[in-house]
Amino acid sequence: MPLPAFLVAGIVLALVGLTLLLLILNYGQLWFQAFWSKAPITFFELLGMSLRKVNARTIVQARIMATQAGIGRDVSARRLEAHYLAGGDVPRVIRALIAAHRADLDLDFDRACAIDLAGRDVLDAVQTSVNPKVIDCPDTASGKSTLSAVARNGVELKIRARVTVRTNLQQLIGGATEETIIARVGEGIITSIGSAESHFEVMEHPDTISKAVLQRGLDAQTAFQIVSIDIADIEVGENIGARLQADQAEADTRVARAKAEERRSFAIAREQEMKASTAENRTRVLQAEALVPKAMGEAFRAGRLESAAAGKNGSPA
């Protein structure tokens, strides 16, 4: 037989009451904390976060921070939850937005989430934008402590520079990193020194180098804006020009010696050829002289030698 209506209603109310009790036990503290922080959130939203494997405490605390900082209107629980599900760092994004809001920087929630999901440290970017940082050129991690450049007079200068940069939030996504800034600044310094007439000009006015480098717009398409370039140290190195001239002179001397040796070898070979030719001619003379007695004997036997002698004396043959 069917259950009485009041019993069914009692069971339903008991289930509803049990459900509410479980919700209160699990999420009562979070709900109460959000309510008194003027960042209200419903029990069903908290339950949905649990079903979607979202850390409800992280979302609630982030929303409370945003509300207390005055940016809660643009940051809803659903948007925070979406960023969490995308793999973002929700607390760090909120702290970055609060820092940007306090410093009056143009950074909205969507851009902050995009920067965070791109793998950049959004909080560090905002802090660097407010408080510029200094990077060494060259980078000490590369194992080099100075840049080496040569002026037109051939003297080497070893330079260490410091580059002050602030983050460009508008180009942080897709912009080049610190390594590009260091490489461009190093290239600019070397080029500027290379165009100087002598190293004395550079040592006398090092600020001209930094000004010339700044005018090149080296921070284009990067995630940073160059505030200043300061020459921290200058040392005079080798006289590269003199060393190259000495090396060239040594090379020319070696070439001249090689050519002289070649001429000497050619003369010796020619002398040997002439000696051989003389010996050959002498052999031919000796061979010709050896044929004279033989020819005289044959002439005597043939009577040609006597006839020739009679003819000379005037008697008939």
185 in the same domain as 142: yes
6 pLDDT band, cuts 50/70/90, is: low
Task: Based on the fold, state whether residues 117 and 138 are members of the same structural domain.
Answer: no
Q: Which pTM was predicted?
A: 0.62
52 and 140 part of one domain: no
pLDDT surpassing 90 at residue 92: yes
Give yes or no: residues 101 and 154 share one domain.
no
Whether 125 maps to a domain, the answer reads: yes
Q: pLDDT grade, residue 309 (50/70/90)?
A: low
Containing domain of residue 145, as a range? 133-239
End position of a domain, from candidates 239, 256, 290: 239
Residues 86-113, mean pLDDT to the nearest whole number: 90
Looking at the fold, whether 137 and 126 belong to one and the same domain comes out as: no
283 belongs to a structural domain: no
Give the integer Cα–Cα distance in Å for 82 and 93. 13
> What pLDDT was estimated at residue 10?
66
Dmax over CA atoms of the chain, in Å, equals: 190
| pLDDT bucket at 317, cuts 50 / 70 / 90 | very low
Give the whole-angstrom CA distance, residue 159 versus residue 146: 5
| pLDDT at residue 259 greater than cutoff 70 | yes
Query: From start to end of 112-215, where are the E strands?
Result: 133-137, 147-150, 155-167
Q: What is the CATH number of the domain that holds 167?
A: 3.30.479.30
Of residues 32 and 129, more confidently modeled: 129
| 55/113 same-domain check | yes
Pull the structure tokens for residue 215: 């005018």
Cα of first residue to Cα of last residue in the chain, in angstroms, is 186
Question: Is residue 309 domain-resident?
Answer: no
Same domain, residue pair 184 and 68: no
Final residue before a domain boundary, out of 239, 262, 293: 239
Rounded CA-CA distance 316/119 in Å is: 135
Residues 6+ apart with CB under 8 A from 232: 160, 161, 162
Q: Assess if residue 199 is contained within a domain.
A: yes
What per-residue confidence (pLDDT) applies to 25?
55
Reported as type and span, the H/E element at residue 9 is helix 5-36
Question: Based on the domain organization, do 84 and 138 belong to the same domain?
Answer: no
Q: Quick one: 121 and 12 in the same domain?
A: yes
* 302 assigned to some structural domain: no
**Cα(116)–Cα(104) distance, rounded to whole angstroms?**
20
- Among 55, 52, 99, 59, smallest CA distance to 77 is for 59
Q: 79 with 12, same domain? A: yes
Same domain, 45 and 108: yes
Which 3 state secondary structure label does DSSP give 285?
helix
Own/partner contacts of 195-203, CB < 8 Å, gap of 24 or more, are 195/152, 196/151, 196/152, 197/151, 197/152, 197/153, 198/151, 198/152, 198/153, 198/155, 199/151, 199/153, 199/155, 199/156, 199/157, 199/236, 201/151, 202/151, 202/157, 202/234, 203/157, 203/234, 203/236
User: How far apart (Å, rounded) are the C-alpha atoms in residues 249 and 38?
Assistant: 85
Provide the domain count of the chain: 2
Higher per-residue confidence, 3 vs 288? 288
Domain end (from 187, 212, 239): 239
Section 29-54 average pLDDT: 77
Residue 247 lies in a domain: no
CA-only gyration radius of the chain, Å: 50
| Residue 261 maps to a domain | no
144-188 tens-digit pLDDT: 888 888 888 888 888 888 899 988 888 888 888 888 888 888 888
The answer to whether residues 152 and 209 belong to one domain is: yes
- Whole-number Å distance between alpha carbons of 178 and 295: 105
Is 38 a domain residue? Answer: yes
Q: Residues in the chain, how many? A: 317
Confidence of residue 93 (pLDDT cuts 50, 70, 90): very high
